[in-house]
Structure 1
């Protein structure tokens, strides 16, 4: 399955939207390469305010950015006001039918202000909750496929309806009831959604909590999952 002729914008967190734990340059390169393998031409941009001005030129936007670290004096990429137009453009694009694939730490990206945090949650169908969301120590983990018939996951799991990956297992995310959960993982005797689809905001989104580092994206099953997510959200 391929999507020749389709274009994707991969937004790699930097500056205001980078953190010390995620090498978004390396993971964005892996994402772009994986998309290219299925015919999607991907352009990688850092999260500068000017990166959001032509979203309509792309068939898919992939968000690989981190939690915001705004500085009171605006020393990191400008103050909140400087980001108003960029975040407005992202929200308008998504609600007008935009196709969005949000990865791993993107559950906590673009949540600089309370009003926008609600918008980002609505676009993703969920979010990281500071003080509640967490992940156990990274290592090999089992992930349960909840919808074996969905095009993203059909035929991807083993006979026991599971996937295995050496990655972080995000837990206690806030997931909207309208979200359609595809994959979960079990921690503290609770099933935690880690992959879901969402369309209640006017566009179409896949959120995938896997993908902590470049090594994670090189695992064959995880790479196929990413490619299927992109192809499905592109239609």
Structure 2
């Protein structure tokens, strides 16, 4: 079994439920997950796992409307944690980044370059949670052979995406998923996953399982 560390927690989402759902999805392809909300603590020392997953919403919360949440949820990523993540990639490790990972770690200018994009206040936004159609784009082993699908989720819109990012899935022209090499490792971002209904869709589950295998540099063909 490959070992996966799921970094979870934050406001506005049921991260306990979605992290558990994600762990269950990945277990079907031989990935054993540990879940923690102590992001700084978990990344305070060199990583011994093959995969690190971000399913969290932790940022500085500078806007006035978040003032009441800052005491509990405001977060700055320590220097040691940044080093752990970059060393993990240098050793060939994988990063699986879900949904609100694009909002996280706004105190670290290097995070968008790792992830491939970021949420930018106030430009970025999303329509209300609801049914959306997802278009799958071929040309990558993670998505080759998967068909388009519908699910209940949020469509993150007008993210700042790096020019070299090629979307593997989109909705209404908004890129929702991409995969990229970073240093000696690999990164996959999936903007879906607001609540557990997102993980009920079989194609989305297959996409995530394929992504995990690709991040682990294992064969993806025949999955899903």
Match of 1:108 in 2: 103
* More displaced 10-residue stretch of structure 1: 24-33 or 61-70: 61-70
Match of 1:39 in 2: 30
Equivalent-residue separation in structure 2 for 1:39 and 1:141 (angstroms) = 30
1:94-150 per-residue CA deviation (whole Å, 9 max, x = no partner) reads 344331010000111112x2xx1x21101101111110111111111111122x242
TM-score w.r.t. structure 2 length?
0.85
Structure 1 gaps of 5+ residues are none
* More displaced 10-residue stretch of structure 1: 90-99 or 168-177: 90-99
Residues 1:171 and 2:157 aligned together: yes
How is 1:97-136 mapped onto 2 (pairs within 5 angstroms)?
97-111=92-106, 113=107, 116=108, 118-136=109-127
Match of 1:66 in 2: 57
Pick the aligned partner of 1:83 from 78, 83, 87.
78
Q: Secondary structure at the match of 1:56?
A: coil
Q: Secondary structure at the match of 1:199?
A: strand
Equivalent-residue separation in structure 2 for 1:7 and 1:26 (angstroms) = 20
1:168 to 1:53, Cα distance in 2 relative to 1, 3 A: same
CA contact (8 A) 1:94 1:123 kept: no
Pick the aligned partner of 2:7 from 3, 11, 20.
11
Equivalent-residue separation in structure 1 for 2:143 and 2:160 (angstroms) = 22
Match of 1:183 in 2: 169
Equivalent-residue separation in structure 1 for 2:83 and 2:56 (angstroms) = 17
1:96 to 1:77, Cα distance in 2 relative to 1, 3 A: farther
Shift of 1:165: 1.5
1:25 to 1:211, Cα distance in 2 relative to 1, 3 A: same
CA contact (8 A) 1:122 1:201 kept: no
1:12 to 1:39, Cα distance in 2 relative to 1, 3 A: same
Residue-pair matches, total? 211
Structure 2 gaps of 5+ residues are 218-224
TM-score w.r.t. structure 1 length?
0.81
Match of 1:49 in 2: 40
